[in-house]
């Protein structure tokens, strides 16, 4: 059993954090939907390295799920999550009730225009407004902090950076690299839905991205060629259904035609009923990564 402090109400979270801040301690914040894995663990570890007091929130945000999505099936491993957060050195788990966090009487939505509409937003039209609204509310509860988000959800990271800047929130958003399995598959709570053979199929998603990245690093600048190579790799795996492949500017997420400097490769594909996303940094002749 972990000894980490767990609070459920907004007031008790605010109180606990304001006490430590009044003592002059810096605050790190890692928002999650639980079912924690080593990807979440890397964010918590980064927060613990850089901040005096670390809050991990666990909240399956109903506002970011579409009507036909997996809200009711979303995995939950609360006690294990608390144990992991505690082992990694976090100080507080904030696990709010849905009624308080996403009240059905709330009239307010936070929406980051343009960035929220493309890619994941095109396939999941209400998703990012749900994310932005709840992340803004979490930021208002935790207050001044460094907040850690994974590059795994690259569009989400761009949107959260933008909302924090646009609303002058006292939050420094820190992006952390994607944690992968040995086969390259990005860790995701949704991987728990996959069978052994589906996990193998799913690893083709990252393989396809690495194909695109290598092409760029060997000097290919034509985005049509790069997207074709990525698509061809996915199509070979017959049980993957491709949603989109994109080569984008890493800040605006706008599609580009010709690679110059650093770009981001984005992909979404479904394995059976499970939709997965991934992305990679790539630059002409440069091996950087995330
Ligand atoms: P979630 O619980 O899926 O909402 O994710 C909570 C945070 O963990 C988000 O900032 C994600 O981007 C991040 N995250 C999820 N998977 C990974 C991963 N494989 N590597 C790094 N960060 C991740």
Task: Work out the burial of residue 120: count CB atoms within 10 Å of its CB; fewer than 13 is exposed, 13-18 middle, 19 or more buried.
Answer: buried
Task: Give the separation between CA 33 and CA 98, rounded to whole angstroms.
Answer: 12
Q: How far, in Å, from the CA of 261 to the mean position of ligand 1?
A: 26
- Tokens describing residue 167: 């609303």
Instruction: Give the tens place of pLDDT for each residue, 204-219.
Output: 999 999 999 999 999 9
Out of 8, 25, 40, 127, pick the active-site residue: 40
| Cβ–Cβ under 8 Å, residues 103 and 169 | no
Summarised one tens digit per residue, pLDDT across range 255-275 is 999 999 999 999 999 999 999
Name the residue with the closest Cα to ligand 1, atom 14: 150
Q: 221 CA to middle of ligand 1, Å?
A: 30
**H or E segment to which residue 273 belongs:** none
Residues with CB under 6 A from ligand 1: 32-33, 39-40, 42-43, 149-150, 152-153, 176, 178-179, 186-189
Distances from the Cα of 10 to the Cα of 97, 102, 105, 133, angstroms: 9, 12, 17, 15
Token reading at 102: 């996403």
CA 210 to CA 213: how far, in whole Å?
5
Q: Give the pLDDT confidence of 61-118 residue by residue, as tens digits.
A: 999 999 999 899 999 999 999 999 999 999 999 999 999 999 999 999 999 999 999 9
- Taking the CA of residue 189 as reference, the ligand 1 atom at the shortest distance is 3
- Structure-block tokens of residue 32: 């999650």
Instruction: Report the separation in Å between the CA atom of 252 and the middle of ligand 1, taken as the mean of its atom positions.
Output: 21
Strands 27-32 vs 92-94: parallel, antiparallel or unpaired: unpaired
- Mean pLDDT computed over 120-136: 97
Residue 151's pLDDT band, with cuts at 50, 70 and 90, is very high
How much is the pLDDT for 280?
98
- How far are the Cα atoms of 21, 93, 96, 169, 211 from residue 142, in angstroms, in the given order? 10, 12, 12, 11, 41
> What is the mean pLDDT of the segment spanning 142-153?
98
Classify the C-alpha dihedral 258-263-264-265 as positive or negative: positive
Give all strands of the β-sheet with 5-7 in edge-to-edge order: 5-7, 92-94, 53-58, 27-32, 145-150, 171-176
Predicted local confidence at residue 1, as pLDDT: 57
**Is 40 labeled as catalytic in the residue annotation?**
yes
DSSP assignment of 194-208? --HHHHHHHHHHHHH
The pLDDT assigned to 224 comes to 98
> What's the pLDDT score for residue 219?
96
pLDDT at 289: 52
- What is the distance in A from the centroid of ligand 1 to the CA of 34? 10
Question: What pLDDT score was predicted for residue 286?
Answer: 61
Residue with tokens 């957060």: 85
For residue 285, name the pLDDT band (cuts at 50, 70, 90): confident
């Amino acid at each position: 059993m972990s000894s980490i402090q767990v609070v459920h109400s907004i007031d008790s979270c605010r109180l606990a954090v304001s006490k430590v801040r009044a003592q002059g301690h810096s605050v790190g914040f890692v928002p999650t939907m639980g079912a924690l894995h080593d990807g979440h663990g890397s964010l918590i570890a980064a927060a613990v390295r850089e901040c005096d007091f670390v809050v991990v929130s666990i909240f399956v945000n109903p506002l970011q799920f579409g009507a036909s999505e997996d809200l009711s099936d979303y995995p939950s491993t609360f006690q294990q999550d608390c144990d992991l957060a505690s082992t990694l050195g976090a100080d507080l788990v904030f696990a709010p009730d849905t009624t308080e966090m996403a009240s059905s009487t709330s009239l307010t939505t936070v929406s980051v225009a343009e960035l929220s509409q493309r890619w994941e937003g095109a396939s999941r039209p209400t998703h990012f407004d749900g994310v932005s609204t709840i992340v803004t509310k979490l930021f208002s509860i935790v207050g001044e902090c460094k907040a850690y988000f994974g590059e795994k959800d690259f569009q989400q990271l761009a949107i959260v950076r933008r909302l924090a800047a646009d609303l002058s929130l006292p939050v420094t958003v820190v992006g952390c690299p994607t944690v992968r399995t040995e086969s390259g598959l990005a860790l995701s709570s949704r991987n728990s839905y996959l069978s052994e053979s589906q996990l193998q199929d799913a690893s083709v998603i990252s393989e396809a991205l690495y194909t695109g990245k290598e092409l760029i690093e060997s000097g290919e600048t034509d985005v049509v060629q790069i997207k074709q190579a990525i698509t061809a790799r996915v199509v070979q795996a017959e049980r993957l259904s491709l949603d989109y492949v994109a080569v984008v500017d890493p800040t605006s997420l706008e599609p580009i035609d010709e690679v110059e400097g650093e770009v981001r490769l984005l992909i979404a594909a479904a394995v059976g009923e499970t939709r997965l996303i991934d992305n990679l940094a790539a630059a002409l002749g440069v091996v950087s990564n995330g």
